[in-house]
Amino acid sequence: MASNRPMLALLLHAHLPFVRHPEHDDFLEERWLFEAIAEVYVPLLRVIDGLRRDQVPHRLSLSLSPTLLDMLDDPLLQRRFVRHVDLRIEFAERELVRAAGDERLRRVVELHRDGFRRARECFVDEHDLRLVPAFRRLQEAGSLELLTCGATHGFLPLLAASPGAVEAQVATAIAEHRRFFGRDPAGFWLPECGFTPGLDEVLAGHGVRWSVLESHGLLDAVPAPLNATFAPVATQAGVAFYGRDAETSRAVWSAVEGYPGDPAYRDFHVDLGFERPVDELRALLPPTGTAVPVGFKYARVTGTGVEKEIYDPDLAAERVERHAAHFVDGLARRIAAASHLMRRPPVVLAPYDAELFGHWWFEGPAWLDRVVRRIGAASAGFELGTPSDDLARNPVVQEAMPAPSSWGEHGDASVWVAPGNDWILRHLDGACERMRALAGEFRGSTGLARRALSQAARELLLAQASDWPFLISRGTAASYAEARVRAHLGRFARLHDDLRRGAIDEAWLAEVERRDDVFPAIDPDVFSRGGPTPTG
């Protein structure tokens, strides 16, 4: 990319908490991964393959969290995904018999069946159950720039008070990224876009060149940014920070103004799992028979307070074209206006949760495809690129210190330390202090002691995931989230005590290693190394 035109940097952040339960044949929360594979990651790969096939210029950024990478690479979860999708293909075939005589229903059932078939074909036949190498190949081909985030997506501003916690999250993530992709990432996704001064020094210490903030994190920087969010700022540590563009975010994210709420699109919330008798859905439900989403959604959004109409794929496709044109044309006008006021080409950073595209918003992958093709037609006045591309072309960056911020509700840390989940933080702080002491005391240990020390580090990192307090604060899978925090902290406490007593139960340790087998090459010494402590 030798030109220096204005740029749209589309960034998809793909993350799921580590959920793996080999002790159960069927575990409900593992479906989070299976749904994401079928509805998000496979469609994204297919979109990029189509762009490459048609020689459409494209370049995107994709953040893949270390926990997600480990789950995608796990043979147990890979086999369980195939079972998950096979059950849905079989159910769709039965549904087609039921839909005989109803042409509109038949089309929607076929749409679901064909989607699950394509997911299976891509996952099994094209990629031999392993999607991570597919993303690596796309990076090597220039389609993607891959970046990492915190090891378990810990909310770093709240962990910053514990020396070693941020270092462990960052160092472990960088090492995992290197293990999977053979190189260190230039970019680092701050979990929940959570920033506090001092995090930039930790990132710089690991060779990170850029990261992303919520809009106000950049706009409230000191001194104020000269170009608002149309250009990055860099701290004295040398890390460049890009601010999320508010307009492109609102167009896709907003429940009121955003595209996904259009009446033509498929309604995420209307699922057969809540509409059909248990006996008809038995194969798709958890062993308890609890009503849960099963992935078959026949209604379109239609509107609020009215009878839902059946989904119309043709109407949705027409709306995708309209919304892609609206997005690109509106962005072109904004970029053209900004260009007249700036001494460097504007860059618009548009980050989204990857799971929005295909899971929450069924038409999202098609919309992404149409947006990229419109930009690639060379008539938009700007091109696609990544923050690394922008820094290569425009290495001189205004120096400033961003403000403490997040992309959570209220723009701060309140989601992750709120009534109902605020008990977690004090336990994490205490465990991190003990882990730091253990890492120093047992540095250089071997054999059983080293295994126990490594597992203690895994358990603490897993307890630090931002997902658990978030789910508790939202009342979504709250009991599971609380149980996970307590289980990881409990295992950590036992490992700590066993190491101190010199009495490790190897059989119990082996079982814990089997369950929580994340980060196989973890270095527990990172907790004792620490680094500059952020001033959160």
Could you tell me how far CA 526 lies from the centroid of its own chain? Answer: 24
CA distance 302 to 502: 64
Yes or no: say if 108 and 298 are a contact pair by the CB < 8 Å rule. yes
Yes or no: say if 365 and 122 are a contact pair by the CB < 8 Å rule. no
192 is catalytic: yes
CA distance 452 to 447: 9
Yes or no: say if 154 and 464 are a contact pair by the CB < 8 Å rule. yes
CA distance 239 to 252: 28
- Which pair of structure tokens corresponds to residue 110? 């076929």
Which three-class secondary structure state does DSSP give residue 1? coil
Catalytic residue of the set 192, 201, 467, 525 = 192
Which three-class secondary structure state does DSSP give residue 96? helix
Which three-class secondary structure state does DSSP give residue 168? helix
Q: What is the 3-state secondary structure (H, E, C) of 440-487?
A: HHCCCCCHHHHHHHHHHHHHHHHHCECHHHHHHHHCCCHHHHHHHHHH
Measuring CA to CA, which residue among 147, 142, 130 is closest to residue 181?
147
Residues ≥6 apart with Cβ < 8 Å to 117: 89
- Which pair of structure tokens corresponds to residue 216? 């106000």
Measuring CA to CA, which residue among 195, 225, 197 is closest to residue 213?
195
Residues ≥6 apart with Cβ < 8 Å to 437: none
Task: Please name the residue that has the structure tokens 């250009």.
Answer: 231
CA distance 224 to 216: 11
Catalytic residue of the set 126, 353, 505, 517 = 353
Measuring CA to CA, which residue among 430, 449, 448, 447 is closest to residue 439?
449
CB atoms within 10 A of CB 308: 15
Q: Left (φ > 0), alpha (ψ -120 to 50) or beta: where does 34 sit?
A: alpha
353 is catalytic: yes
CA distance 177 to 426: 30
Q: Note the residue count of the chain.
A: 536
Could you tell me how far CA 436 lies from the centroid of its own chain? Answer: 28
- Which pair of structure tokens corresponds to residue 34? 């299976």
* Nearest 10 degrees: Cα torsion 36, 41, 43, 44: 140
Active site residues: 192, 353
